[in-house]
Amino acid sequence: MLDRDGFRPNVGIVLLNQKNQVFWGKRIRTHSWQFPQGGIDRGETPEQAMFRELHEEVGLQPEHVAIVARTRDWLRYEVPDRYIRRDARGHYKGQKQIWFLLQLTGFDWNLNLRATEHPEFDAWRWNDYWVPLDAVVEFKRGVYEMALTELSRYLPRMDVRPRFQPSGFRSPVAVDHAHAMDVAAQQVSSGPELPSSS
């Protein structure tokens, strides 16, 4: 199913864990890594295609994830002729994609690269959000950068504050404030400094 410009509708998936790391899959029998992605079938919405691809490629069900955001418009990339079947050349140009940012609400053990008889990946790992793109096939790098940039504004905020403070611990600001209060109290109790009589 191609649009009038020769682009196939497709979805891309950026899957986050609780540390805002992204799922990175190694294409089966290759050395290239990528995010899960796949075509939109006739009659499917992008969201329906995303959930289908999520299950087919990494074994997750809708209850294992929460949708955080999606790109507003289609992001396109062209595929070089050497990657296009001969019978499709002249008609097929590349992919146009809606990208989804998902939060994993399940567990690592819910991931299953063998959920179907035709696996896409043979290895996976968590990587920093701004994953180096040199492991991605070259013609996809631009659209990956656009998708990561657009979706980055929706990244869940990481709570870096300590959940509790040990007893006797005071933050530097609190210490400074306490010191200032101590100095002020000493000045009040000692009264104004009088000149000594000689």
Whether 116 contacts 58, CB under 8 Å: no
Domains of the chain, with CATH numbers?
7-154 (3.90.79.10)
Q: Supply the pLDDT for residue 180.
A: 41
Residue 110, Ramachandran bin (φ over 0: left; ψ between -120 and 50: alpha; else beta): alpha
Query: Which pair of structure tokens corresponds to residue 170?
Result: 């005071």
Q: Which of the residue ranges 1-5, 114-118, 166-170 would you say has the lowest mean pLDDT?
A: 166-170
14-69 tens-digit pLDDT: 999 999 999 999 999 988 899 999 999 999 999 999 999 999 999 999 999 999 99
* Cα–Cα dist 83/137, whole Å: 11
Supply the pLDDT for residue 174.
Answer: 38
Q: What is the pLDDT of residue 167?
A: 44
Query: Would you state the pLDDT for residue 83?
Result: 83
pLDDT digits (tens, 9 = 90+) for 94-142: 999 999 999 999 999 999 999 999 999 999 999 999 988 998 989 999 9
Extended beta strands in 71-166, E state: 75-78, 94-104, 121-127
Examine the pLDDT at 182 and tell me if it is beyond 70: no
Compute the radius of gyration of the chain from its Cα atoms.
27
What separation, in Å, do the N-terminal and C-terminal C-alpha atoms of the chain show?
104
* Per-residue confidence band for 144, with pLDDT thresholds at 50, 70 and 90: very high
Q: What are phi and psi of 180, to 5 degrees?
A: -60, -40
pTM: 0.78
pLDDT exceeds 80 at position 154: yes
State the average pLDDT over residues 78-102. 89
Mean pLDDT of 69-81: 96
